[in-house]
Amino acid sequence: MTKKNFDFVFRYWITLALIAILSILIRQNFFINQFPSSLVEKQVMVDKNEKINHLLEQQNKIKSLELQAKNAVDMEILESQVRHRFGLVKEGEHYYQITKAP
């Protein structure tokens, strides 16, 4: 009888090994890793992060526009001061100075 059992195992050893591997993988995926529900949870987390990233991108664009506007105003002030103090004349401009007659 043991020879018969051993002959069965020897003949179908690869099938038995594959069945053992399959059962281990099924146990690992469904019972330990909680396969379907873990994917749903991760997808919810990814969707939430995408929304947060989108909001941050919008805030970054707004801040960038605010910074550009502030720099433009600052540059106008700087240009005005340079024109007044140092007599800056841009290329293509003509400078006329009017003085009072004595």
Q: What is the pLDDT of residues 20-67, one digit of tens each?
A: 999 999 998 888 888 888 888 889 999 999 999 999 999 999 999 888
**DSSP states along 39-72:** HHHHHHHHHHHHHHHHHHHHHHHHHHHHHHHHHH
What is d(CA 23, CA 77) in angstroms, rounded to the nearest whole number? Answer: 76
At residue 1, the pLDDT reads 58
Q: Which pLDDT band, with edges at 50, 70 and 90, does 96 fall under?
A: confident
| Dist. CA 41–CA 10, nearest whole Å | 45
In Å, what is the CA distance from 62 to each residue of 26, 58, 69, 75, 80?
A: 50, 6, 11, 20, 27
Q: What is the pLDDT of residue 9?
A: 77
